[in-house]
Structure 1
Amino acid sequence: MPDQTADRLDLRGDCARCFGLCCVALPFAASADFALDKPAGKPCPNLQGDHRCGIHPQLRQQGFTGCTVYDCFGAGQKVSQVTFGGQDWRRGSAEHARRMVEVFPVVRQLHELLWYLAEALTLPAARPVHAELRRAREKTEQLTLQSPEKLAALDVGAHRQEVNVLLLRTSELARAGVRGKKKDRRGADLIGARLKGADLRGACLRGAYLIAADLTGADLRGADFIGADLRDADLTDADLTGAFFLTQPQVNGARGSAGTRLPTSVTRPVHWTAQV
């Protein structure tokens, strides 16, 4: 089996190899997450000529919290260096820049799927579907290597649905090994829910809305977090050991503490240490 750890290194954003695509391609609206409005295709005013953010160390203080919880899963460097062969959008034609902006979100979705597939292949309980997962991963990787024209025309939603069938089966297999009754909270509205100390071992939290939920000291071992919205959720002293399909953007959007136990696939956000 390929080294999954090595595979996932390429699925983390590397801004040094990207042309600041997330700062150009993505739109955002003035809100608690962003200090101003910006349409898709227009460079953020904080983007410098070297494609670096001029206020990166002060993003949260300057009202750009949304930027700190975003991750392209390595799509930025893939589009910059592979899809467009290192040709900067600033130096190309208007059509070239437009096409880069169009393709980036597509590749980002494909890379997110690659992240989930790579993680699924690390789960021993999912061994019965490992062969199918490997085929899905190979197909997804090949899709990311298509021409800009083919990527722009790709029905990425259909491919996501196809892969999701496998990810669902993976989740069922992985959670089956967790002892006790496993709660199904798929797509549940748990905004602001009081779940302090809750036993959510092996729970299905796929697509659940956990915005500002109190999960202090909750037992979330072996839970499926794919697509869960954890913005401002309180994970202080919660145990997420063995939780899967949990991404760095989800963790970055939550609140936590030194006592929060995380799976090895993600890192503890720096801003957690500054929280009171």
Structure 2
Amino acid sequence: MNNIKIYFVLIGVMFLWGMNVSAIKLLVSDFMPVTITSIRIFVAAMIVFFILFPLKKVRKPKNREWLYIILGAFLSIFVHHYFISEGLAKTSAANGGLILGLGPMLTAILSIVLLKRKPSIIRLVGFLLGGVGVSFTVLAGSGGIHNASSGDFEVFLAILSQAFSFILIKKASETLDPLLLTGYMLLFGSAMLFVTSLLIEPNGLASLQHGSPFIWLMFIFSAVLATALGNMVYNYVIGQIGAAETSIFLNLSTFFSLIGAALFLKEEILPSHFIGLLLIVPGVILGSGSLEELLIRRKEKLTQHPQKKISL
């Protein structure tokens, strides 16, 4: 697959992920949040294994790999999706989508803190822009710090936990296929969520009886297309064009989440949302190191394949 086709595929995945914010908002509004999230993640896990079995990519993890799977499932699936479901039940999809767009930058910050990497000036500028962008979106969009929603904070915790998990996932993927790792984490994470739902939402399963056909259509979209296929395709593309080039496209999901909130939820998109978007997008590109790595790779390619001089 050439790069042009890959870019179009990535745009499609970002569209799915952006629309998925609105889909999750609808699901957690009609059903008990943790219950429906656990079932949605379980269905996604089954889809991943259904695809991997014919490809003969399913195997039993080795001893140390189990540790990465369990920790990754706890952070990337259980904590991440728990706070997304709870947070989006209390805040707007527009705010949630913008905050979720901070993922690449938070991952870069944690890499600097945990792996003792010295940040460049470009990254520091990116961190500043991203922080100001989210603060402006949450505070100005909600009418000030006194009216800021607890849901915004919970969505932030969701993306922070996922950023922590990326450190583990990177280590685990050295010996375990990322697609298989995704399947195992979805499976164990959904089990953790389901047990939690039985404890805090005793009527959660009963609430599933009242869903409309449209809501269940949103469930299928979210579980099958956005969560299962979206994550598999994204992981595949990382192997094709690299993490730096791929992560730049994550900013599009933030843009699409705003469009989805306006179209499907009839949410009011405030000027503060667009100002926040204009600050967050360059903040993520600079803060995540995507721009730096992209420039370095382009420079290396030019050095390895300089243009031949034409002799007369």
- TM-score higher than 0.5: no
Q: Which has the higher contact order (CA 8 A, sep 6+)?
A: 2
TM-score normalised per structure 2: 0.25
